[in-house]
Amino acid sequence: MAANPFTYGNPISDPTRFFGREREIEQVFSRLRNAEFESSSLVGERRVGKTSLLNTIAHPDVRRARGLDPNQYIFVYVDLQMVDKSATPAKLWQRMLKQMARYCQDAEVKQMLEVIRKEETIDTFALADLFDSIDEKHQYVVFLLDEFENVTTNQNFGPDFFYGLRSLAIHHNLALITSSRQELIELCHSDAIRSSPFFNIFANINVGLFSADEARQLIARSLEDAGVTFSEDEINAICRLAGYHPYFLQAACYFLFEAYGKNLPSEERLKYLRKEFREEADPHLADYWHNSDDHERIVLTVLALLERQGKASGRSFGVNQLQDYYARSDQTLSHLAKRSLVAAQAEGYALFNSLWGEWITNEITAVSNDAQTYEEWLKSNQSTLEKLSSKAKTEIGEILPKISGKYRDLIVDWVSDPKSLLAVAGLLRSVLFAV
């Protein structure tokens, strides 16, 4: 049997192994091909494939196929995970100019790059002169800045840095393609930077879940020369377990392929897949949850409980149905969909994979991990309970002991809305007390 064709640890570097994202790629190149040579911001949750997308965009074969001659267009990838609290604009420019020099073919420009990058401070006018020379030679530069939030949230990068970078981008043959977990303007460390016109030069491009066709294409093409064929039932199991999230999809396929390598029978293959996949997925699901605000956690919990309840057909729930349990569901769902934590479907919304709902339910009910008993919690949280009406206290009195101490405040805030109290209490009770 061939080597496992599925990978889930490192980003994809070979464009022949990159699947989907045609719309996103075309958006980026369309902006680069237009007369203004415009910039783009790729926005997506961790592990959704932003770095793989940047690698693909930067590849010479992809650039050439999209109408950009690699000899004329210099693409410079910079991993900004290295930007720590001690980093400065000068150090970042030194790094970017060093990378430019590696790919630059023009001797005069290369000499200018070497001189400027060795300076302790990077002069703005020197940078302008450099890009003047690049413009005169009809050369174009694209900076691919991965994890750009490490710059926008860094106190050392003030308004002057962003004004300077914007000036270079709008007056010269320079475009920026950034990637970040959230929209850049949401990640600024000060109001002065947030109000900067720097952010106006970008088009935000959301990097989300695959379509069903893209997910199946990934599986089919990866297996073409692998000597293994997944059954239709196995593919359906993968799509339920992992959803159409690129990272989770690759991981699930990897473990199923390994199960074939172990010559496990059909039923044992699926058991092996679920066990190994759960262990791999748990820390990433925990990261998504802990980086969600209370509104998002409530909506995610509603979806998890409704899914566990199993009364609806399929796993999708309409906005009106969800608003019965939480009035702010509508605007929260659209944000969760952008983060790829829920999947927007024709019938409504669903958690992006089946394991996510199970993880959420287990997380909010993990009372065995509480540092204090429920009685101790009650004594120290009387002010929290005072938010509730007597009716609300009655409704959730038997529910709170079954909720993890970390999330009792969240549940109290949730049921404090009298319009949804009975629906919420009924939903919690139906799942927590299910036989």
Residue 399's pLDDT is 95
Looking up tokens 């106006």 gives 200
Residue 313's pLDDT is 46
Concatenating the DSSP letter of every residue in 322-369 gives HHTT-TTHHHHHHHHHHTTSEEEETTEEEESSHHHHHHHHHHHT-GGG
How much of the chain exceeds pLDDT 90, in percent?
85
Residue 312's pLDDT is 47
Looking up tokens 């002010």 gives 383
Q: Find, among 81, 53, 69, 237, the residue nearest to 147 by Cα.
A: 81
- Neighbour tally for 376: CB within 10 Å: 12
pLDDT over 80 (residue 434) = no
Locate the domains of the chain by residue range. Answer: 21-206, 212-290, 294-432
Residue 82's pLDDT is 87
What is the second-level CATH architecture of the domain 21-206? 3-Layer(aba) Sandwich (3.40)
Concatenating the DSSP letter of every residue in 364-400 gives HT-GGG-SS-HHHHHHH-HHHHTTS-HHHHHHHTTTG
Tell me the pLDDT band of 314, cut-offs 50, 70 and 90: low
The sheet that has 140-146: what strands, in order across it?
73-79, 140-146, 174-180, 39-43, 202-206
Provide mean pLDDT across the span 174-198.
Answer: 90
Residues 89-120 have pLDDT tens digits of 999 999 999 999 999 988 999 999 999 998 88
Residues 235-284 have pLDDT tens digits of 999 999 999 999 999 999 999 999 999 999 999 999 999 999 999 999 99
Contact 341, 314 (CB under 8 A): no
Q: Find, among 294, 310, 307, 312, the residue nearest to 342 by Cα.
A: 307
Tell me the pLDDT band of 347, cut-offs 50, 70 and 90: confident
Strand 39-43 with 202-206, pairing:
parallel
Distance, in Å, from the CA atom of 109 to the CA atom of 22, rounded to the nearest integer, reads 34
Tell me the pLDDT band of 199, cut-offs 50, 70 and 90: very high
Q: Which residues pair with 177 in a beta bridge?
A: 40, 144
C-alpha dist (Å) from residue 312 to 208, 320, 366: 25, 14, 26
pTM: 0.92
pLDDT over 60 (residue 217) = yes
